Amino acid sequence: MTYLDHAATTPMRPEALAALTASGAVAGNASSLHASGRRARRVVEESREVLAGLLGARPSDVVFTGGGTESDNLALKGLFWARRAAEPARRRILVSAVEHRAVLDTVAWLSAAQGAEVELLEVDAAGTVHPETLEAALARDPDSVAVVSVMWANSEVGTVQPVAALAGVAHRHGVPFHTDAVQAFGQLPVTVNASGIATGEDAPDAITISAHKVGGPVGVGALVVRRGLVLQPLTHGGGQERDIRSGTLNTAGAAAFAAAATAACEHLPRESARLAALRDDLVRRVQHEVPGAILNGAPLAGPPGAPRRLPGNAHLTFPGCEGDSLLMLLDARGIECSTGSACSAGVARPSHVLLAMGASDEHARSSLRFSLGHTSRAADVDALVEAIGPVVERASRAGVTV
């Protein structure tokens, strides 16, 4: 199989699998006081320190969760509840129109069940939220805003947002800023020091990351929470994780997460350059085979040191073809990709991300995402290029069957 869906999940790294196996084979609840419990606690705390070091955060800032979706829910619900309790007028939530469903569905629930007033921040044709857009939304009534959330990099088209600038705007108005960095962590230098959190300025107050996007196991993630930021917990129980996230700690998952993140970040500049070169080759050759194919999102070439697009992302529209048909025809040839976020797969509706970027319904339904990762090689691009022409030709005919 040719796997081109790393944005959905990437294969576990050997280092992560070894850590998962080693820690999973040892008994001990990290909250227990006996020797086995203390051993488990040491594994958890050492893993926390590793992740904090990679992120430029303090270990106490890292709260382990069950994954990216839980972290997003905890950040948005926790901040909204805490801010509203302290200041009842703070009912507005500002999020970008291109967020992952873990954010959009969370704020929709807060609107329907908790009286939140949700406002979607517009994006440009590349999927970028401009700081002046956030500034205008906040300036209308800053004292009514509970939280702002804009993802670090888009999960479908790969556009990288100006996170530090957006956080700066939010902070000037006294509003906490959350970012879903699930796609960015491990592909870009997602370090809180780089965004200024060391001084408390122009940085996310809460950052979502997930293990299985960097080569760790499914079922473990983290929310990096600035110390002093008050969140109401989603779950209540034993008071683990600073009483923000109660529940028995996933010792083996934490160890595997730390191992995967270390491997992903160890050679990040070199690996990002390798993936970007593979991606550029993929786009160039696919567009040569299918001249009408359109690249969505930010341009491939960005300013030095400030990429506008994830290095492993190639999101293309093939006019006249249904994306689902293309996906299944490629799958029949052993090439795996997606029509967008895996969490929305199988849902018969066009991509909300592309629609927010100004694309037509037809354009949005004719798109595929090819995403590269640590196991991707030139042979994967070769396989796609060989197949794409005949697949598009077949899919463009009426009544395509697989």
Residues designated catalytic: 343
Cα torsion angle, 185, 128, 277, 7, sign:
positive
Sequence-ordered list of residues with C-beta below 8 angstroms from that of 397, at least 6 positions apart, any chain: none
- How far is it, in rounded angstroms, from Cα 322 to Cα 258? 40
Long-range contact pairs involving 234-242 (C-beta distance under 8 Å, separation at least 24): 234/70, 234/73, 234/74, 234/77, 234/78, 238/31, 240/31, 241/63, 241/64, 242/60, 242/63
DSSP 307-320: -SB-TTEEEEE-TT
Closest by Cα among 47, 23, 49 to 36: 23
Structural element, H or E, at residue 120: strand 117-121
Contact between 214 and 268 under an 8 Å Cβ cutoff? The reply is: no
Closest by Cα among 155, 157, 202, 199 to 181: 155
Closest by Cα among 177, 247, 244 to 219: 247
